[in-house]
Amino acid sequence: MLSAGQLIWVSFRPLLRLVMNVLGGFIIAKADIFPAVAARGAGQVALNITMPCLMFSKMVPAFSSSNISVLGPLFVIGAIYQFIGIGLAWLIKQFFWVPHRFRYGMLAAGGWGNYGDIPTAVIMSITGAAPFNGVEDQDLAVAYISALILYYMFTFFPLGGNRLIALDFKGPEVESEEVQESIRTRRKFILHGFPKALKEKVLHRGAHPKDDCENQVESTEMVRNEKATSELVDPQLRPGRNVSFHEDATIVASSGAVQPIKRIPPPLPRLQLTSNLHPISRRWKTILLTVRTAVESLCMPASLAIIISFVIALITPVKALFVQVDGYYMPSAPDGEPPLAFIIDFAEFMGAASVPLGLICLGSALARLNVPRSQWSNMPLGAILSLAVGRMVIMPVLGVLICKGLIHVDFISKDDKVLQFVCIFFSCLPTATTQVFVTQVYSGTGSADHLPAFLIPQYLLMFLSMTALSAFTLQLLF
């Protein structure tokens, strides 16, 4: 059992390494040594080469048919955190004003966290040392992280999470003053008008229950009497048509008369069919476009590496070509290793650069986030601070409670400490910086004006909340 001081140090030390790495990228970006073009190229290398290699090198040894069932809890945890984040962002929007061009981006910022470099760096460091089992638990942790990364990528691109950001830039611009006035009216109604109206309704029902019942009975009897009276009236005297006793009177049919009249011939069938085919063709076009986007996302190097790793890890004869498998004989190479072990060596060598390179790119991205001081007074401070507290304080608390409940019912294995740590840790992640790049693409101007102000407080608060959560989780598990 570790002491309080040891728990804090074990939890904080990985963050020191993370801070130093991010700070390096921040400094070289500010010094203009690492320009935006170079950062974009390094990001492509990290995303398409080093990260797939890291996932492959960790997943193939770690997964097998005996532990593949953990994918269910991991995907469920990812979905729970996503819905909680979107729900918190939606609630914040009801009480605090958000810029019109960030009204849907706010939901994306709440729902999709930084599932890549930050959790990989911190969790690898913590699980690679005591009280965990070193390299074995470290490989297992990265394998679990890769499953959550796959969930994140699949929900953000094929399932349309990125389209929330695109919706921000559709329609005319709305001035901030109008948005603020609308939010003030809504907030006033939620806090004062709605409770007052509900209270009056409850009091009215409580004070006059008999009157309400009597009024209801009387109105029912009146409807029945009117219906009976209308049935006794001679049909010829009903106001179906105008009646006159003069022969030269003009008969004008009322709007309520139902008489056979000469109908206008319907449109040509060919035109009708053509008009009906347009929505169908558009619908099929949308479906095919969605399927194409999903397939393209699954064919990205990171997704493809994760899927291939699952396949290799679950087929024992194929897995034995890459790593040694207990209870299965595979002829070895001249060095005594499995025939394709050199591929794992290459993946480990390249994958070692994934986390440092990704953190350097993160530091350079944070260095380019610009919030002019002249705009501080006009920023939606309520929404900014609420989102930071929601993601970095409220969500970790909810994450601990949810995971403890799922562990109690044995949905998350009570014996798998690594799985429990990963599930709890993923509740404390700031908004993904990927949203900056996606916003720049959809904005049409290459800018992401509102997002930086929402990101910076989260990343500042991250160091304190992650340290506290890691220390508490280690104390909870060990």
Query: CATH no. for residue 25?
Result: 1.20.1530
Q: Is residue 347 part of a domain?
A: yes
Q: Is residue 79 part of a domain?
A: yes
Structure tokens at 289: 């476009």
Q: Is residue 223 part of a domain?
A: no
Q: What is the rounded distance in angstroms from the CA atom of residue 282 to the CA atom of residue 445?
A: 29
b (16+ CB within 10 A) / e for 209-227: eeeeeeeeeeeeeeeeeee
Burial class (CB in 10 A: 0-12, 13-18, 19+), 57: buried
Residues 6+ apart with CB under 8 A from 264: none
Nearest partner of 420 among 476, 463, 465, judged by Cα: 476
Q: What is the rounded distance in angstroms from the CA atom of residue 145 to the CA atom of residue 150?
A: 9
Q: Is residue 179 part of a domain?
A: yes
Q: Show the CA angle centred on residue 233, arms to residues 231 and 238, nearest 5°.
A: 105
Q: What is the rounded distance in angstroms from the CA atom of residue 88 to the CA atom of residue 395?
A: 9
What are residue 431's DSSP bridge partners? 113
Q: What is the rounded distance in angstroms from the CA atom of residue 111 to the CA atom of residue 430?
A: 10
Burial class (CB in 10 A: 0-12, 13-18, 19+), 66: exposed
Structure tokens at 470: 């890691």
Element (H, E) at 86: helix 71-95
Which residue, chain included where needed, has tokens 């409850």? 202
Residue 266 DSSP label = P
Q: Is residue 245 part of a domain?
A: no
Q: Is residue 450 part of a domain?
A: yes
Backbone angles phi, psi at 52, to 5 degrees: -55, -40
Structure tokens at 188: 């006033």
Structure tokens at 53: 């290699």
Q: Is residue 466 part of a domain?
A: yes
Per-residue model confidence (pLDDT) at position 283:
79
Nearest partner of 473 among 413, 398, 420, judged by Cα: 420
Q: Where are the alpha helices (DSSP H) in 368-408?
A: 381-389, 395-408
How many C-beta atoms surround the C-beta of residue 120 within 10 A?
23
Residues of the chain under the 50 pLDDT cut: 217, 223, 228-258, 271-275, 277
Nearest partner of 386 among 459, 474, 467, 458, judged by Cα: 458
Per-residue model confidence (pLDDT) at position 319:
94
Instruction: Tell me how many domains the chain contains.
Output: 1
| Four-residue CA torsion sign, 389, 461, 76, 160 | positive
Q: What is the rounded distance in angstroms from the CA atom of residue 259 to the CA atom of residue 262?
A: 10
Q: Is residue 215 part of a domain?
A: no
The tens digit of pLDDT for each residue in 176-216 reads 778 778 877 877 777 776 666 777 777 766 655 555 555 55
Long-range contacts formed by 23-32: CB under 8 A, 24+ apart: 23/363, 24/360, 24/363, 25/359, 25/360, 25/361, 25/362, 25/363, 25/364, 25/366, 25/367, 26/363, 26/364, 26/366, 26/367, 27/363, 27/367, 28/360, 28/364, 29/363, 29/364, 29/367, 29/368, 30/367
Contact by Cβ (8 Å): 364, 34: yes
Q: Where are the alpha helices (DSSP H) in 157-300?
A: 161-167, 176-188, 194-207, 209-232, 269-298
Residue 425 domain boundaries? 4-187+298-369+380-477
